Amino acid sequence: MAIKIKSLADGALISTGTRDLQYPAGSPPSTNAVIRSIRLANSDATVSAKVNVVCKAVSGRDSASPSGVRQVGPKDLNIPPNGIVLLDEEVTLAAGDYVNINLGVPASGTAKLDVVISGIERAS
């Protein structure tokens, strides 16, 4: 079984409301992956960004979390204007699991967030 070291996902979230970025795109994801890092950069010079990063585990549902949602970053992470946060704890995704990045509604203005998810994926 071969693995690929790669940029698993990247994108920009621009929001005056709640927006989501999901890795992997598509449903259901058919490969296993290990996320090595998630880089979150607030590209706005004046507005703070409030971010939540969760893993939605299809395979990991239990009585404590029947929806399978697990917080994998700090709750309501506040990224200051022009700030960067690196979440560098590994997250393992089974086939069907995915990571969701939610950009909250700013108090005023428009939040702008650049995202890069890096890691390894099983080659098909």
Domain ranges of the chain: 3-122
pLDDT tens, 44-73?
999 999 999 988 877 666 656 667 788 889
pTM of the model: 0.82
User: Tokens representing 70?
Assistant: 């697990």
| Nearest CA-CA partner of 122 in 52, 24, 49 | 24
Span 72-76, mean pLDDT?
91
Span 68-87, mean pLDDT?
91
Instruction: Name the pLDDT band for 94 (thresholds 50, 70, 90).
Output: confident
| Nearest CA-CA partner of 12 in 39, 48, 45, 46 | 39
Instruction: Name the pLDDT band for 86 (thresholds 50, 70, 90).
Output: very high
- CATH architecture of the domain covering 3-122: Sandwich (2.60)
Q: What is the pLDDT of the chain when averaged over all its residues?
A: 81
Span 14-37, mean pLDDT?
70
Residue 28 pLDDT greater than 70, yes or no: no
